[in-house]
């Protein structure tokens, strides 16, 4: 039988006794010949030639369905197929839009890139030659003595996870949440199985960085752990606690056990020192497989997420393993804006608080065991990370009258009182302010153009435009309270 069965299936609804040949509409086809293309033969069957291919012995043209069937039976024809239309592979997929990652990229001018920001992906390894990953992968150590390197991937899982974190924004394939971040892919799960000893060693490698010394600039700032287990693993917990104490943020997959009893979150996600990620669908609902419990921090895309695969390919996968790297990428963006501003990075506890306080609430209202604080919002989290920049005091006591001052600052004030607004201040600058209390919860937001801030002792504080990085120069008017 000739290979035109698919075409018959596609056209079967069109070929019925009630439809006469004169009513048929010509359809686009590709006819491939056994020898060389024969235009005359194609036309004999009623075909209209559009083009003749050179790299295959085929003709692209239009032909009525009944004539296509007859053509496909001709012994000189190898096969006939419908000229179908494929969809382009959009670089920015639904998952990035759902968490508002593109908006986060425009805040502070960062895509996660800064020499001091490294992400450690503890997984099955990585295809370090993948064209959508290679430029961002800086180090591929193995924590398992049986493997010399994390490259190549021993399973495929790690390549998919890495792509969600850091696939390049390069005009093809897919993009990651932090498409310019530096990645350390550390093999801790050879073949998809993760020994506790390898995990502990992997955490140590992440904390040391390539120079083998904890506390230097090449240490990882955030770790992704898309694995978990239902038991008690004190060695792993101690290692994560040590990383936490050294300022490393840990993000983990909540688990894929569903919610049969109200608390199915796996370790290490259930540790209080870890950001535990549940999984959403493209419809902004929690995936049925996503584990639940009071330790869930937030939710992110985890159902049919398209990402990188070994061999330079792409494919979809589902699980909270896909949700966790979304959280990891957002943490990288948060820390990068602070590194760019040359201010201290957020502590792990501060990161977790901001992730929670800036999440988009999902039904039911408020914190719940399925989505935690809600849907991860990259844009809000990065804004909050910027708004939490260090307060700077100017130790000059101003007299109780209007004083004109000139500033050249690039810092954001927090934990201060707004005393007054002077319209003549910063006439050539737009100033917005987001005030955040120590817990990270936004309690005041204003888009007023002119703001004057004082601390509790009426000492003048740094006066600066929130959500702007770089120098802001202008003249402002201030007064003691």
Enumerate the active-site residues.
123, 157, 321
Residue 86 CB contacts under 8 Å (≥ 6 apart), including other chains: none
Asked whether the CA dihedral 338, 219, 235, 323 is positive or negative, the reply is positive
Helix, strand or coil, per DSSP, at residue 85: coil
Helix, strand or coil, per DSSP, at residue 325: helix
Output Rg (C-alpha) for the chain, integer angstroms. Answer: 29
Decide: residue 427, CB within 10 A, 0-12 exposed, 13-18 middle, 19+ buried: exposed
DSSP per-residue string spanning 113-143: --TT-EEEEEES---TT-TTTGGGEEE--BS
Residue 174 has, within 13 A of its CA and on its CB side, a CA count of 29
H/E element, 3: none
H/E element, 343: none
H/E element, 349: helix 348-357
Q: In b/e form, how buried is each residue of 288-297, taking b as 16+ CB within 10 angstroms? A: ebbbbbebbb
Rounded-to-integer distance, Cα 279 and Cα 321, Å: 9
């Amino acid at each position: 039988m000739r290979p035109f069965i698919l075409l018959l299936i596609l056209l079967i609804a069109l070929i019925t006794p009630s439809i006469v040949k004169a009513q048929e509409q010509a359809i686009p086809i590709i006819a491939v010949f056994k020898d060389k293309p024969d235009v005359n033969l194609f036309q004999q069957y009623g075909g209209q030639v559009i083009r003749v291919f050179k790299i295959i012995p085929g003709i692209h043209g239009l032909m009525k369905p009944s004539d296509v069937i007859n053509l496909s039976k001709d012994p000189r024809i190898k096969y006939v197929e419908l000229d179908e239309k494929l969809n382009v592979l959009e670089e920015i997929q639904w998952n990035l839009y759902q968490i508002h990652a593109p908006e986060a990229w425009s805040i502070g001018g960062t895509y996660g890139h800064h020499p001091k920001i490294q992400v450690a992906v503890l997984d099955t390894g990585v295809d370090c030659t993948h064209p959508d990953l290679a430029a961002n992968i800086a180090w591929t150590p193995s924590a398992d003595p049986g493997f010399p390197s994390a490259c190549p991937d021993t399973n495929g899982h790690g390549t998919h996870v890495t792509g969600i974190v850091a696939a390049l924004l390069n005009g093809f394939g897919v993009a990651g949440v932090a498409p310019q971040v530096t990645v350390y892919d550390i093999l801790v799960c050879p073949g998809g199985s993760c020994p506790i000893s390898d995990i502990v060693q992997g955490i140590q490698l992440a904390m040391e960085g390539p120079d083998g010394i904890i506390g230097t600039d090449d240490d990882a700032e955030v770790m992704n752990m898309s694995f978990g287990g239902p038991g008690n693993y004190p060695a792993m917990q101690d290692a994560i606690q040590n990383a936490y104490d050294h300022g490393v943020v840990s993000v983990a997959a909540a688990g894929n056990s569903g919610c049969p009893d109200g608390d199915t979150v796996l370790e290490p996600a259930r540790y209080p020192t870890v950001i535990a990620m549940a999984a959403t669908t493209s419809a902004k609902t929690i995936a049925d497989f996503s584990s639940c419990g009071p330790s869930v921090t937030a939710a992110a895309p985890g159902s049919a997420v398209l990402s990188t695969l070994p061999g330079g390919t792409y494919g979809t996968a589902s699980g909270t393993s896909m949700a966790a790297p979304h959280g990891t990428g957002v943490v990288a963006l948060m820390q990068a804006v602070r590194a760019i501003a040359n201010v201290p990075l957020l502590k792990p506890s501060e990161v977790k608080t901001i992730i929670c306080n800036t999440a988009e609430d999902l039904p039911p209202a408020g914190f719940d065991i399925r989505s935690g604080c809600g849907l991860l919002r990259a844009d809000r989290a990065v804004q909050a990370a910027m708004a939490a920049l260090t307060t700077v005091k100017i130790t000059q006591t101003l007299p109780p009258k209007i004083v004109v001052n000139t500033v050249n600052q690039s810092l954001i004030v927090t934990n201060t009182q707004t005393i007054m607004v002077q319209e003549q201040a910063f006439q050539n600058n737009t100033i917005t302010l987001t005030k955040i209390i120590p817990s990270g919860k936004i309690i005041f937001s204003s888009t007023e153009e002119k703001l004057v801030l004082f601390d509790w002792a009426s000492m003048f504080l740094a006066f600066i435009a929130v959500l702007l990085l770089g120098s802001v120069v202008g003249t402002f008017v201030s007064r003691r309270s």
